[in-house]
Amino acid sequence: MSGEPLTERQETVLALVVHEYIERASPVGSKRLVDRYSLAVSSATVRNEMASLTESGYLRQPHTSAGRVPTEQGYRYFVARLLGDTDLPASEKRLISHQFHQATSDVDEWVRLAASVLAAQSRVASLVTAPLPDRTVFKLLELIGTQGRQVLMVLVLEGGDVRQQMLTLSEVIGQTQLRQTAEQITASCAGLDANGVKAQSSRFDVLGREIADLVAETLERADEFSGGELHRDGLANVLSQPEFADSDRGRNALKLLEERSLLEEVLAKALSPTVGGVQVVIGGEGAWEELRDYSMVLARYGATGYATGTLGVLGPTRMSYGRSISAVRYVAGLMSNLVVEAFDA
Amino acid sequence: MSGEPLTERQETVLALVVHEYIERASPVGSKRLVDRYSLAVSSATVRNEMASLTESGYLRQPHTSAGRVPTEQGYRYFVARLLGDTDLPASEKRLISHQFHQATSDVDEWVRLAASVLAAQSRVASLVTAPLPDRTVFKLLELIGTQGRQVLMVLVLEGGDVRQQMLTLSEVIGQTQLRQTAEQITASCAGLDANGVKAQSSRFDVLGREIADLVAETLERADEFSGGELHRDGLANVLSQPEFADSDRGRNALKLLEERSLLEEVLAKALSPTVGGVQVVIGGEGAWEELRDYSMVLARYGATGYATGTLGVLGPTRMSYGRSISAVRYVAGLMSNLVVEAFDA
DNA sequence: TGTTAGCACTCTCATCCTGAGAGTGCTAAA
DNA sequence: TTTAGCACTCTCAGGATGAGAGTGCTAACA
């Protein structure tokens, strides 16, 4: 299995099989290959190469005397070595970039747009998480008394993210004192993270301590939850792939896409935490049984030190990797720019 | 068509046909009905009643000599007159209520939970929009200078909703003056809506006018966008219905569910703006061609004067209306309570 | 030695046929 | 008014069949 390196001709055959299978979704035979790509060799030769590729584990036969289908190993080799550099056509890029520039400055809007663009370009399902600050850093606190002991706490984070929370104090406190406390905490804690705020806590009076601890807690919670809200789009794309014509498989695919927790886990684990580069996960890479028949093309976007998020596409292993990779790369780039702009503003 | 009122026996037959069809998903014939429900009359009699119901438009035959299937009119009659009052079992209610009490106080969390519960209970797809204040009323403004002319505007609305926006002023303004302006606007505009704020605008200085107009604009925008973010769940449920076994129909269903704009339009138009009561939309009611084969069970939740949102389920016309209605009613009640609590806090 | 033509064989898949099963409407009798 | 009986219709699952695509092997060829 996969001992010797492939000869050039074997690589050609493998590439053609992958290409043809992705396009036609049915096992590809030697004759069809020679015909459609007018190869210089005969079908018998191709057959021999195919047999050899099958033996080394790059191809597989669904049944005796059907054509060949790439194995996961075959796809991996293809993506790693045979898939040339791909890029979106300049016209597409302009179109997409234009859409992004037209969008309002709402983060959610960007996320939705990214998901929609990815789905349209890759023709499979897309996943995008909202960008989240790497390290949640406190910037400013406001306390707004409403009535009685109810107080609205508004917490502004570095990067412009805002959290609010209602809280019930143990006694009624006047607006002036609330304001003073808020100012005090803002003054001594601005620029600190959860631990930093907790450390400062002892410097305040009873009320201040109570609030500061709450602030620290909120910061911590924001840290833990390491992925923003997950947006999806293009689910219907996946369903229209012929391998999911069978309604059982289709339902399965959809269940997978609906399973937030699994997707979040995969995104979190599969993806290196640094920005840059597109990662391709084929067939779950052995780690996720549920993803056996699926592949993902993922990227982190944003900028370390600022905020990062994840985006990518998910489809059957038989998906157009070229299209997906170029789309993911380009959209990730756009989103990164947006994040940086938002932070530097 | 639907001239005379139905006799009691016709109602019984109609009810049984609907019930049986919902359960078995295949056209129901006279013999099967008599057998399974041990009716006191013979199949021939049932046949006659069926023929009469078919003539008046409550039933229809997919083809000569197949069983009968309810028409939209049949479903409507069933829901309006024959479907007894249904309610979730007390045990289910307890379970659901428990889940809601365990959830954190994050609105998004509630929305997600509601969607998940609705999907599980109704066994079809669920739709839930986040609650949105009826009339966007200003409560408090903060201006936070960052660097240069960039200022972060934090806008707290009645009900605790928070909007933030970066803005670039025409000149650099000190933090003190920013604070003064914010306080001034807060003092004279608290409790007003977009128009009210605009009316006050002239009372301020140049900076104040600039900001106040922005505030009014933001309030207006919040008003316009009359539906919160739409959450869905249980898409896979719909796909597992036998009528969508055909992959084309399944894809169609999914496309429908993915089409945010259509759903939002339907939710906005189909639903009376007042809270209370569950509405059943069967087969698009002639107004939406795309919904021909689907039904929706919808309700508004929240409280007028506070905030309201929409929730409901969407499935094939052949869905369990009893189950859906009771689930929607109960969850809408829970969500309404949560909204009121959040506002009164 | 690598390549190719030829051939016998295998396996799938669309199509057709057929009979069982379910359902209907009509008629005539109770 | 209800029901038993009957002839008729339509679908659907299951089996048969043949075309088509593909394979591996062998022997000849450059």
Per-residue pLDDT of chain A (345 residues; tens, 9 = 90+): 445 678 889 999 999 999 999 999 999 999 989 988 988 898 899 999 999 999 999 999 988 878 899 999 999 999 999 988 889 999 999 999 999 988 776 788 899 999 999 999 999 999 999 888 777 788 888 887 766 677 878 888 876 677 777 777 778 888 788 888 988 998 898 888 888 999 998 899 888 898 899 899 888 877 665 556 789 999 999 988 888 877 778 888 899 999 888 888 888 887 777 777 899 999 988 788 889 899 999 999 998 878 888 999 999 999 999 999 999 999 999 999 998 887 775
Structure-model confidence comparison of residues B269 and B328, the more confident one: B328
How much is the pLDDT for B287? 83
Residues 24-83 of B with CB under 7 A from strand C: 27-32, 43-44, 47, 50-51, 54, 61, 64-68
Residue with tokens 């859409």: A99
A151: closest chain B residue by CA: B345
Give the span between the Cα atoms of B34 and B16, in whole angstroms.
10
Residues B150, B156, B161, CA angle at the centre, nearest 5°? 120
Which residue from A229, A151, A145, A161 is spatially nearest to B163, judged by alpha carbons?
A: A161
How far apart (Å, rounded) are the C-alpha atoms in residues A257 and A312?
Answer: 13
Is A180 (CB) below 7 Å from strand D?
no
Could you tell me which chain B residue has the CA closest to the CA of A254? Answer: B236
Determine which of A106, A124, A137, A156 to mutate to test the interface with B (most B C-beta atoms within 10 Å).
A156
Whether residue B233 has pLDDT greater than 80: yes
Interatomic CA distance for residues A267 and A250, integer angstroms: 22
- Decide: A59 and A69 in contact? Cβ < 8 Å: yes
- Phi, psi angle pair for A143, to nearest 5°: -120, 125
Half-sphere exposure of residue B84: CA atoms within 13 angstroms, side-chain side: 5
Distance between CA B134 and CA B111 in Å, rounded? Answer: 18
Q: Nearest Cβ partner of A144 from B140, B229, B258?
A: B140
Residues of A with CB below 8 A from B158's CB?
A: none
DSSP assigned state of B5: P
Task: For residue B251, give the nearest of A150, A236, A246 by CB distance.
Answer: A236
pLDDT score at A15: 95
Please name the member of A152, A160, A258 whose beta carbon is closest to the beta carbon of B166: A160
Nearest nucleotide to the CA of A66, by C1', is D22
Q: Would you state the pLDDT for residue A117?
A: 97
B294-313 burial code (b ≥16 CB/10 A, e <16): bbbbbbbbbbeebbbbbbbb
Residue B128 in 3-state DSSP? strand
Q: Exposed/middle/buried for B267, CB within 10 Å: 0-12, 13-18, 19+?
A: buried
Closest residue of chain A to B341, computed from CA coordinates: A166
Q: Does residue B189 contact residue B212 with C-beta atoms inside 8 Å?
A: yes
Q: What pLDDT does residue B70 have?
A: 96
Evaluate whether B189 touches B197 at the Cβ level (below 8 Å): yes
A48 is near strand C: CB distance < 7 Å: yes
Q: What is the pLDDT of residue B147?
A: 62
Chain B hits for A145, CB-CB cut-off 8 Å, are none
| B247 and A CB contact within 8 Å | yes
Query: What is the DSSP pairing of strand B125-129 with strand B307-316?
Result: antiparallel
Q: Does B147 touch chain A (CB under 8 A)?
A: no
Q: How many CB atoms sit inside 10 A of residue A337's CB?
A: 15
Percent residues over pLDDT 70 in chain B: 94
Q: Which chain B residues are Cβ-neighbours of A342 within 8 angstroms?
A: 166
pTM, 2 dp: 0.82
Name the nt closest to A48 by C-alpha to C1'. D24
User: What is the band of B326 on the pLDDT scale with cuts at 50, 70, 90?
Assistant: very high
Q: Which nucleotide is nearest to B45 (CA to C1')?
A: D2
Work out if A64's Cβ lies within 7 angstroms of strand C. Answer: yes
Q: What pLDDT score does B2 carry?
A: 45
Whether residue B154 and residue A146 make contact (CB cut-off 8 A), yes or no, is no
Q: Do B154 and A142 touch (CB under 8 A)?
A: yes
Is B156 in CB contact (< 8 Å) with chain A?
yes
Provide, as residue numbers in chain B, all residues whose Cβ is less than 8 Å from the Cβ of A164.
156, 160, 162
* Whether B139 CB is under 7 Å from strand C: no
**Beta partners for A279?**
A298
pLDDT at B118: 98
Q: Which of B271, B288, B254 is nearest to B328 (CA)?
A: B271
Angstrom distance, B87 CA to D12 C1': 39
Q: Which residue is nearest to nucleotide C21 (CA to C1')?
A: B66
Please indicate if any CB of chain A lies within 8 Å of the CB of B246: yes
Q: Which residues of A219-254 are buried (b: 16+ CB within 10 A; e: fewer)?
A: bbebbeeebbbbbbbbbbbbbbbeebbebebbbbbb
Confidence of residue B168 (pLDDT cuts 50, 70, 90): confident
Of B162, B240, B345, nearest to A150 by CB-CB distance is B345
Residue A133 backbone phi and psi in degrees, to 5: -55, 145
**Chain D footprint bases within 7 A of protein beta carbons:** 2-5, 8-11, 21-26
Question: What's the pLDDT band for B227 if we cut at 50, 70, 90?
Answer: low
Is residue B166 within 8 A of residue A338, CB to CB? The reply is no
Q: CB of B105 within 8 Å of any CB in chain A?
A: yes
- The answer to whether the Cβ–Cβ distance between B160 and A164 falls below 8 Å is yes
Q: Closest residue by Cα to the C1' atom of nucleotide D9?
A: B65
* CB-closest option in A164, A233, A247 to B239: A247
Nearest chain A residue to B153 by CA distance is A160
Q: Which nucleotide has its C1' atom closest to residue A68's CA?
A: D22
Scanning every residue of chain B, which has its alpha carbon at the shortest distance from the alpha carbon of A105?
B165
